[in-house]
A and B are shown apart, each in its own frame.
Chain A
Amino acid sequence: MSTGCLIGSAVIAVIVAPWIGGLLRGIDRKLTAHMQGRIGPPIIQPFYDVIKLFGKKPMVAGGAQLAFAYAYLALIITATVFFALRQDLLVVLFILFFGSLCLPIGALSVKSPYSQFGGHRELLQFLAYEPILLLAAIPIALKSGGFTIANIFEYGQPLLPHLWITFIALLIALAIVMRKSPFDISSSEHAHQELVRGVVTEYSGPYLALIELGHWYEMVLLLSILGLFWVTGGLWWLSIIIALASWFIMLIVDNINARLTWSWMLKFAWGAGISLVALNILFINLGWM
């Protein structure tokens, strides 16, 4: 692909990603309502919410908090740009890590106990899913011959038949990143639980909107990484279907589960997630996959 084409796709990704993320979030709320026997809000509801939040009067508990809200959004957009430019998958993941890390640091910079609680739990969530994401890059590199996303495009074959075990591990990571039950331990979906809204309790108005926008980018980026598993080999549209199917699985898991404890999450993510990826690396090295 030419440089101009790549830059064009990066610009399109930055503009289009929040629209897709917001719509997915709206469809999520609608489907969840239907699963609970309700009618639910219109699917453009998340856009109403974010525009309303941008129009509210800014209230802050500390300057550091603001810096981290902006850093969160900026770093996640940077990761999206690097992804669209088909750069190194590890670089994309590391920028994403730094971006996600801004959220707990911002929360811990405030003295509110709910915010502190949420920040600590967010760090635990971080500890649970980051190793899976990072290790998942290894089998992808082993199969496609390099860590860059361009390598995956040049590989010419779909990755999913060889890496379906890694894919399952990535689904566990996706559930934690999307903050869905049973993994919504750092910021509960609705704010009447023991930690209010946890990590975002102290963010209000426009700064909450920035974080919401960041979540949309993050979700679309994660789903795009899952889409990479079938991006070549003719049937490229299967990558979109795979991404949407994994998103729908997350929705069902969210609706049939209650929130669980952080220790359960850590055991599950490390026990199941990391061993699945390790198994996949072993099988590739043995030549079975």
Chain B
Amino acid sequence: MGILSTSRVKSPWLLHFDCGSCNGCDIEILAALTPLYDIERFGIVNMGNPKHADVLLVTGPANYRNYRVLRNLYEQMPDPKGVIVVGTCGCTGGVFHNCPNIIGGIDKVIPVDVYVPGCAARPEAIIDGVVLALKKLSRS
């Protein structure tokens, strides 16, 4: 690996967007930041700014209320970037499937690279998902 792709793998900055989830997955994402899991060991930083982020973590199902916001955030992130969907709702719509205001999984709105299923997904699974997304970043 060249120095650039090494750096990409060593320094993924996350943007976390809650697309209408029950907050269960969001709590697990924040748990990954605590001293127990300490994702900053891998250079992962939780950024609140799409213009600085490399990886977009989305929780919750895509819905008509805020899919424009989701697409906007995705488009504001500079390339190369990866998208990880955390939780069953984001993967397929989950328990909200077929509700009138729900479009379905996040992949109906933006291209998704990694799916982390689970209700809620465990922090270990989320870290695993980020590692998978990094493989995509290192290739680009």
Residues of A within 8 A of B64 (CB): none
Contact of A131 with B by CB under 8 A = no
Contact of B95 with A by CB under 8 A = no
Which B residues from 36 to 64 make CB contacts under 8 A with A? 38, 40-43, 45-49, 51-52, 54
Contact of A49 with B by CB under 8 A = yes
A208→B51 CA distance, assembly (Å): 10
B35 touches A38 (CB 8 A): yes
A191 touches B78 (CB 8 A): no
Residues of A within 8 A of B47 (CB): 190-192, 197
Write the nearest CB–CB distance from A148 to chain B, whole angstroms: 41
Task: Describe A's contact surface by its main secondary structure.
Answer: loop
Q: Per-residue CB proximity of B109-124 to A under 8 Å, as 1/0?
A: 0000000000000000
Residues of A within 8 A of B79 (CB): 56-57
B38 touches A45 (CB 8 A): no
A191 touches B7 (CB 8 A): no
Contact of A55 with B by CB under 8 A = yes
Write the nearest CB–CB distance from B35 to chain A, whole angstroms: 5
Residues of A within 8 A of B76 (CB): 59
B4 touches A51 (CB 8 A): yes
A48's contact among B10, B41, B48, B80, by CB below 8 Å, is which?
B10
A191's contact among B6, B10, B43, B48, by CB below 8 Å, is which?
B48
Residues of A within 8 A of B49 (CB): 191, 196-197, 201
A45 touches B10 (CB 8 A): yes
B46 touches A55 (CB 8 A): no
Contact of B3 with A by CB under 8 A = yes
A201→B80 CA distance, assembly (Å): 19
B78 touches A59 (CB 8 A): yes
A38→B42 CA distance, assembly (Å): 12
B10 touches A192 (CB 8 A): no
A49→B42 CA distance, assembly (Å): 12
Write the nearest CB–CB distance from A122 to chain B, whole angstroms: 16
A55's contact among B7, B10, B51, by CB below 8 Å, is which?
B7
Count of A interface residues, CB-CB < 8 Å: 32
B4 touches A39 (CB 8 A): no
Q: Per-residue CB proximity of B1-12 to A under 8 Å, as 1/0?
A: 001101110110
Contact of A254 with B by CB under 8 A = no
Chain A residue at smallest Cβ distance from B40: A41
A106→B130 CA distance, assembly (Å): 33
B51's contact among A36, A47, A192, A203, by CB below 8 Å, is which?
A203
A192 touches B11 (CB 8 A): no
B3 touches A208 (CB 8 A): no
Write the nearest CB–CB distance from B1 to chain A, whole angstroms: 12
A57→B79 CA distance, assembly (Å): 5
B52 touches A197 (CB 8 A): yes
Which A residues from 28 to 59 make CB contacts under 8 A with B? 29, 33, 36-42, 45, 47-49, 51-52, 55-59
Interface CB pairs A-B, < 8 A, 11: A39-B41, A48-B10, A48-B11, A49-B11, A52-B11, A55-B4, A55-B8, A57-B80, A59-B78, A191-B48, A192-B46
Interfacial residues, chain B to chain A (CB-CB below 8 A): 3-4, 6-8, 10-11, 35, 38, 40-43, 45-49, 51-52, 54, 76, 78-80
Interfacial residues, chain A to chain B (CB-CB below 8 A): 29, 33, 36-42, 45, 47-49, 51-52, 55-59, 190-193, 196-197, 201-205, 208
Q: 4 smallest A-B Cβ distances: which pairs?
A: A191-B48, A204-B51, A192-B48, A51-B7
